[in-house]
Structure 1
Amino acid sequence: MSLRRESHQQIPARTVRTARAACPRGTPAMLIRDRLDVLFEDEDFADLFPADGRPGLSPGQLAMVSVLQFAENLSDRAAADAVRTRIDIKYALGLELEDPGFDYSVLSEFRARLAEDGAADRLLQLMLTRLTEAGLLKAGGRQRTDATHVLAAVRQLSRLELAGESIRAALEELAVADGDWLLALIEPDWDKRYGRKVEIGKVPGGKAGVTALAETFGRDGQKILAAAWAPDAPPRLRQLPQVEILRQVWVHQYYWDPRGRLRWRDGHALPPASLRFDSPYDTDAHFCVKRDTTWSGYRAHFTETCTPGLPEVVVHVATTIAPVQDGELTERIHDDLAGQQLAPAEHVVDSAYVTVAKIERARRVHGIDLLGPIASDRSRQATSASGFDRSAFTVDWDKQQVTCPQGAVSLLWRPQRIGGHDCVQVRFGKATCRACPVRAQCTTSATRPRTLALLPTRELHEIQARNRLDQQTRDWRQRYAIRAGIEATLSQNIRNCGLRRSRYRGLARTHVQHVLTAMACNLTRIADWIADPAPTGRRPTHFHALCAGTA
């Protein structure tokens, strides 16, 4: 299907008159069209369509419909019906009143194109470019980031159910691809075991019963895999997606013991959650635990502006598998924003995104002040507040020496790697420490001297010391208070657009959902800003107003 470029700069006169009569105050779709004109042009999507073939629908219009669909949390069918029946959407798209619209299936096909080669991110960049041209978005200023968990659009399975369901999915695919070949493998009880959705409750016999059932699944799955990889088997069968998924599940969940028997893995022998998936129908969905929350799916990271005098706009969206920690996204977010010329002057985040090294890199590479609480000193002396913690020692980086509160100078200064991190190990003299009159406030060891682990460079050490002091001040807490606003943005998108649950399967399609959700949030906020640019405060309760009047 090729691209047929169309221009929708001019709204038909009859559509304008009818829309103005029906909606004299305007709707979000109409306000956006009036302020930003055509948000998406067909030329912006030229590389997503081949040069030949039957002309398709306008991708610029489909993009706008997709954003409006998410803004109102509509299904594909309801969104297509809205294009046919609603005057304000015809006004936003520049359509004639008699325009019949399109079939709802076109929207899913358009999202599939957006899932290829980062096209969804480019769609968000187009919106941000239009907002920048309209003076509603500027580089610099302040931004804030946070993440939320996203449930996959598949049933959450136990390990036993995953093994059984993987066999069932492979059998279904093999039955379609070559039923005659599969018929020779089928055992009498397979129809009862795998003929329907595998659901396993409490297994009789406790742990032994679970292991027995798992090894039954293991033998059945291994029989299918061995037959598919036999020399006389059709090669195309081993290339079927569900057969390959079955092979991967067996690598994750089973092993061969020294006697050559297939065994069910114990929990400690499992691969990490970032490598093994939880459903044969979505291999991008991974299990994760964060404090009291457990889920199988993804994480969505939203970054929005919070500069006074301008609307709050989502400028960056990242979707990852669930086990990826928030701090792994910090540098990527900064690099992406800098590439769009939208890097902030100050980036406010929670502690998961912050380390001393990330603060240093953000300032050095992009000139960004990364604001967030770094980890406090968890040593015994610092937590008990009754001894000499690291801040009580004076560090001389030029001489590579440390002076303790009693004036003793360290004897050892040695670069070292502890727990996968580079550091500098400092050690004081054993005789000096044992003779110290305040030794009990410095170390609990009866014989060993006091040691310190410093960050590997002076700059990192100074950033850590300065930030730990700043975090205790009222001014810092007032600056950091703005971060809480991102929670409202996540809540808005969870309630209005269903951000917490993926509509689609796979990381790429889920990311398209998150980008469209962010753009829908932007559209709603920009429309509200256009209608009333003055920021509104929270309306007080009647009781609060009564108390204030009395005071």
Structure 2
Amino acid sequence: MSLRPKSYQRIPAKTVRTARAACPKGTPAMLIRDRLDVLFEDEEFASLYPADGRPGLSPGQLALASVLQFAENLSDRQAADAVRTRIDWKYALGMELDDAGFDYSVLCEFRARLAEGDAADRLLTVMLERLVEAGLLKSGGRQRTDATHVMAAVRTLSRLELAGETLRAALEELAEADGDWLLPLIEPEWDKRYGRKIEIGKVPGGKAGVTALAETFGRDGQKILTAVWAPDAPPRLRVLPQVEILRQVWVHHYYWDTHGRLRWRDGHALPPAHLRFDSPYDTDAHYCVKRDTAWSGYRVHLTETCDTDRPEVVIHVATTIAPVQDGELTEQIHDDLADARLAPAEHVVDAAYITPARIERARRVHGITLLGPVVPDHSHQAKSGSGFDKSAFAADWDNKQVTCPRGHISRHWGPLRINGHDYIQVRFDKATCLACPDRPQCTTSATRPRALALLPTRKLHEIQTRNRLDQQTKDWQQRYAIRAGIEATLSQNIRTCGLRRSRYRGLARTHVQHVLTALACNLTRVADWIAEPTPTRHRSTRFHSLCTTAA
């Protein structure tokens, strides 16, 4: 299928008359078309199509139809029907009234193209360029970022169910690829064991029964793997996707003991969550726990503008596997925004995204003020509020020494590594500490002197100290209060676009969903802004107003 670019600058006159008569105030689709003109041009998708072949449908129209689909949370069939029957959609797409549109399956094929490379991100880039040209978006200003969990579009499986379902999926694939080769390997009880979807409730025998059943799965799977890698086996069977997934799951969950027997791994002997997957049908879905929430799937990070004189639009979308922590995305977000010439003057985030090192890099590399709460001092002295915490000690970086509240000078200054992070360890003289009358306020140890762990450089230490002091002020808290708005954005997309659960399998396709969700959110917000440029005041209850007056 090849691309035959078309221009949709002019909307058919009959479509204009009919749409204006039917919707005199306009709809979001019509308002966006009027303000931004053609949102997606066919030429912007040239790299997704070959140079030869039969002409395909307009990718610009398919892109806009996909955004409208997500804005109204429609299925592919419903979206195709809307293209065929909705006057405002025909107006936005520049179509004749008698245009029959396209089959719903085309939308799925188009999303598959967007999953290749960075095609989905280019859609967001194009929309942002249109908003910049229309004066609705600019660089600088204030932006905010937060993440939420996304559950995978597969059934949640226990470890035992994962082993059985993985073997069943491999057997299904082998039976389809070469049933004659598989037939001699099948044992009489396999039909009952793997003939249908694996669903395991309570296993008789408790933990020993679970282990016995798991090792039964393990022996059956090892029999298949041994046969597939035998010299006389057809080589094409070794590269089947489910056979490779079977091999990886067996590596993750089984091991050979000293007697050469296949054993089920205990929980503590498992590989980390970011290396193993939770379903044979989506190997990008990983298990994660964040506070009280446990899920298998992904995380999505949304960054939006929050200036008062322009609409709040999502300008960056990042999708990761679930175990990737929020702070690992801070530098990537800043680099991507700088490349798009949309870097903020101030970036407001929560504690998960911020460290003194990230504050320093954001300012040094991009000139961004990274605003957020630095992790407070967790020492018992700081928590009690009555002892000498780290802020009570004066550090002299030039002479590499620290002075305690009593005026005593530290004796030791050297490197320290904790959980893969570098620090400076400072210790005071043992005899001086033991004789100090303020020792109960300084340390709870009966024999050891007071020790401190400082950040590795003076600049980072000063950033940490300054931010911890600023966070206690009312002015800082008022500046930071704007971060709460990103929670509303996440809630809006969860409720209206189904952001909480992935519609597709795999990280690439899930990212396409998240980008289209962000585009749909932007379309709705920009249309609301065009219809009413001034921000609307949120209505409050009478009781809430009374409480505000009393305060």
Normalising by the smaller structure, the TM-score range is: over 0.9
Aligned to 1:525: 525
Residues 427, 504 of structure 1: alpha-carbon distance in 2 compared, 3 angstrom cutoff = same
Secondary structure of 1:184's counterpart equals helix
Between the aligned partners of 1:442 and 1:361, the Cα distance in structure 2 is 34
Q: Deviations over 1:233-274 (max 9, x none)?
A: 000001100000000010011000000000001101111111
Aligned to 2:152: 152
Q: Deviations over 1:263-286 (max 9, x none)?
A: 001101111111110000000001
TM-score, length-scaled by structure 1: 0.98
Q: CA deviation at 1:63?
A: 0.4
Q: Deviations over 1:375-415 (max 9, x none)?
A: 11111211111211111111111111111111111122112
Between the aligned partners of 2:203 and 2:380, the Cα distance in structure 1 is 47
AA at the equivalent of 2:330 = T
Aligned to 1:230: 230
Between the aligned partners of 1:46 and 1:510, the Cα distance in structure 2 is 23
Between the aligned partners of 2:479 and 2:53, the Cα distance in structure 1 is 56
Of the structure 1 ranges 537-546 and 456-465, higher mean CA displacement relative to structure 2 is found in 537-546
Is it true that 1:291 corresponds to 2:300 in the alignment? no
Aligned to 2:343: 343
AA at the equivalent of 2:488 = A
Between the aligned partners of 1:531 and 1:319, the Cα distance in structure 2 is 32
Secondary structure of 1:279's counterpart equals coil
Q: CA deviation at 1:118?
A: 1.1
Of the structure 1 ranges 28-37 and 437-446, higher mean CA displacement relative to structure 2 is found in 437-446
Between the aligned partners of 2:278 and 2:335, the Cα distance in structure 1 is 32
Between the aligned partners of 1:236 and 1:399, the Cα distance in structure 2 is 68
Correspondences of 1:122-133 after superposition (within 5 Å): 122-133=122-133
Correspondences of 1:67-86 after superposition (within 5 Å): 67-86=67-86
Secondary structure of 2:221's counterpart equals helix
Residues 224, 539 of structure 1: alpha-carbon distance in 2 compared, 3 angstrom cutoff = same
Secondary structure of 1:57's counterpart equals coil
Residues 140, 547 of structure 1: alpha-carbon distance in 2 compared, 3 angstrom cutoff = closer
Is it true that 1:422 corresponds to 2:422 in the alignment? yes
Is it true that 1:9 corresponds to 2:9 in the alignment? yes
Secondary structure of 1:499's counterpart equals coil
AA at the equivalent of 2:481 = A
Q: CA deviation at 1:487?
A: 0.7
Residues 478, 545 of structure 1: alpha-carbon distance in 2 compared, 3 angstrom cutoff = closer
Gaps of 5+ in 2: none
Of the structure 1 ranges 464-473 and 396-405, higher mean CA displacement relative to structure 2 is found in 396-405
Of the structure 1 ranges 77-86 and 404-413, higher mean CA displacement relative to structure 2 is found in 404-413
Q: Deviations over 1:28-72 (max 9, x none)?
A: 000000000000000100111010111100000000000000000
Between the aligned partners of 2:384 and 2:550, the Cα distance in structure 1 is 46
Between the aligned partners of 1:548 and 1:526, the Cα distance in structure 2 is 31
Residues 399, 545 of structure 1: alpha-carbon distance in 2 compared, 3 angstrom cutoff = closer
Correspondences of 1:274-313 after superposition (within 5 Å): 274-313=274-313
Between the aligned partners of 2:505 and 2:159, the Cα distance in structure 1 is 20
* CA RMSD after TM alignment: 1.4
Is it true that 1:137 corresponds to 2:144 in the alignment? no
Correspondences of 1:165-314 after superposition (within 5 Å): 165-314=165-314
Between the aligned partners of 1:545 and 1:436, the Cα distance in structure 2 is 55
Of the structure 1 ranges 164-173 and 429-438, higher mean CA displacement relative to structure 2 is found in 429-438
Between the aligned partners of 1:187 and 1:548, the Cα distance in structure 2 is 73
Of the structure 1 ranges 510-519 and 379-388, higher mean CA displacement relative to structure 2 is found in 379-388
Aligned to 1:492: 492
Between the aligned partners of 1:334 and 1:90, the Cα distance in structure 2 is 38
AA at the equivalent of 2:50 = P
Aligned to 2:377: 377
Residues 286, 30 of structure 1: alpha-carbon distance in 2 compared, 3 angstrom cutoff = same
Identity of aligned residues (%): 82
Aligned to 2:115: 115
Between the aligned partners of 2:148 and 2:419, the Cα distance in structure 1 is 28
Aligned to 2:332: 332
Residues 248, 75 of structure 1: alpha-carbon distance in 2 compared, 3 angstrom cutoff = same
Between the aligned partners of 1:192 and 1:156, the Cα distance in structure 2 is 22
Q: CA deviation at 1:548?
A: 9.1
Correspondences of 1:413-452 after superposition (within 5 Å): 413-452=413-452
Q: Deviations over 1:469-502 (max 9, x none)?
A: 0010111111111111111100100000000000
Q: Deviations over 1:314-372 (max 9, x none)?
A: 00001111111111111111111111001111111111111111111111111111111
Between the aligned partners of 1:276 and 1:12, the Cα distance in structure 2 is 54
Between the aligned partners of 1:433 and 1:295, the Cα distance in structure 2 is 48
Between the aligned partners of 2:149 and 2:433, the Cα distance in structure 1 is 50
Is it true that 1:50 corresponds to 2:50 in the alignment? yes
AA at the equivalent of 2:312 = E
Residues 412, 546 of structure 1: alpha-carbon distance in 2 compared, 3 angstrom cutoff = closer
Residues 547, 335 of structure 1: alpha-carbon distance in 2 compared, 3 angstrom cutoff = closer
AA at the equivalent of 1:484 = A
Aligned to 1:406: 406
AA at the equivalent of 1:481 = A
Is it true that 1:21 corresponds to 2:21 in the alignment? yes
Correspondences of 1:441-480 after superposition (within 5 Å): 441-480=441-480
Q: CA deviation at 1:549?
A: 10
Q: CA deviation at 1:550?
A: 12
Residues 226, 547 of structure 1: alpha-carbon distance in 2 compared, 3 angstrom cutoff = closer
AA at the equivalent of 1:523 = L
Residues 548, 153 of structure 1: alpha-carbon distance in 2 compared, 3 angstrom cutoff = closer
Between the aligned partners of 2:167 and 2:438, the Cα distance in structure 1 is 68
Q: Deviations over 1:167-188 (max 9, x none)?
A: 1101111111001001011111
Secondary structure of 2:489's counterpart equals helix
Between the aligned partners of 1:533 and 1:384, the Cα distance in structure 2 is 50
Residues 129, 441 of structure 1: alpha-carbon distance in 2 compared, 3 angstrom cutoff = same
Aligned to 1:366: 366
Q: Deviations over 1:281-315 (max 9, x none)?
A: 00000111111111110011111000111100000
Between the aligned partners of 1:385 and 1:366, the Cα distance in structure 2 is 37
Q: CA deviation at 1:448?
A: 2.2
Q: Which runs of 4+ in 1 moved over 4 A?
A: 542-551
Q: CA deviation at 1:430?
A: 2.0
Residues 260, 145 of structure 1: alpha-carbon distance in 2 compared, 3 angstrom cutoff = same
Q: CA deviation at 1:451?
A: 1.4
Gaps of 5+ in 1: none
Is it true that 1:36 corresponds to 2:27 in the alignment? no
Between the aligned partners of 2:348 and 2:380, the Cα distance in structure 1 is 30
Secondary structure of 2:185's counterpart equals coil
